[in-house]
Amino acid sequence: MHPGWVKATLLGCVGLLLMGASSFTQAQTQDKTESTLTLAIVDGALPKAQRLIKVRKGDKLRWRISSNTAGALHLHAYRLSAQVQAGETKVLAFEAFATGRFRLEWHGEHDKGTATAGHHAPPVALLEVLPR
């Protein structure tokens, strides 16, 4: 066997392996969705069309959260929250890592000292994460 032929064959095999690895990574990247959603809370509520947010496990989410009153938005089970002052926008970015339905609760500053001040306030929306 000619040494030049062996070297060319080995380089070709390495090239094929590298091409396969990069196309696998691209396929995985293309399989995941990155989305930005604006959640404009008004008087502690979201518009009806935003009360069920459906995504797939592994999706990367970026929520732009605003409110006309101060408070906090909690995504239960994910243990995420965003403190929002009236008129400002906060960004909450995360990956949907667990499947199921999860409550988004708004705890407005005006709720302090009431029955809804603690956790388990009625949800303003549900996040539904479906399996891939």
CATH number of the domain encompassing residue 50: 2.60.40.420
**pLDDT recorded at residue 10:** 36
Residues 88 and 26 in one domain: no
> Can you tell me the distance from the alpha carbon of 83 to that of 113, in angstroms, rounded to the nearest whole number?
18
- What the block records as the tokens of 94 is 């995360």
Residues 72 and 10 in one domain: no
Give the pLDDT confidence of 101-129 residue by residue, as tens digits: 999 999 998 766 544 445 567 899 999 99
DSSP-derived 3-state class of residue 77: coil
- What the block records as the tokens of 127 is 């996040």
Residues 64 and 15 in one domain: no
Residues 74 and 10 in one domain: no
Residues 12 and 40 in one domain: no
- Residues spanned by the domain of 51: 34-130
Nearest to 72 by CA among 84, 60, 86: 84
Q: Out of 29-33, 83-87, 97-101, which region has the weakest mean confidence (pLDDT)? A: 29-33
Q: What is the mean pLDDT of residues 86-115?
A: 88
Report DSSP state, residue 49: G
**pLDDT recorded at residue 119:** 54
> Can you tell me the distance from the alpha carbon of 44 to that of 7, in angstroms, rounded to the nearest whole number?
68
Residues 80 and 94 in one domain: yes
Give the pLDDT confidence of 38-75 residue by residue, as tens digits: 999 999 999 999 999 999 999 999 999 999 999 999 99
Number of domains in the chain: 2
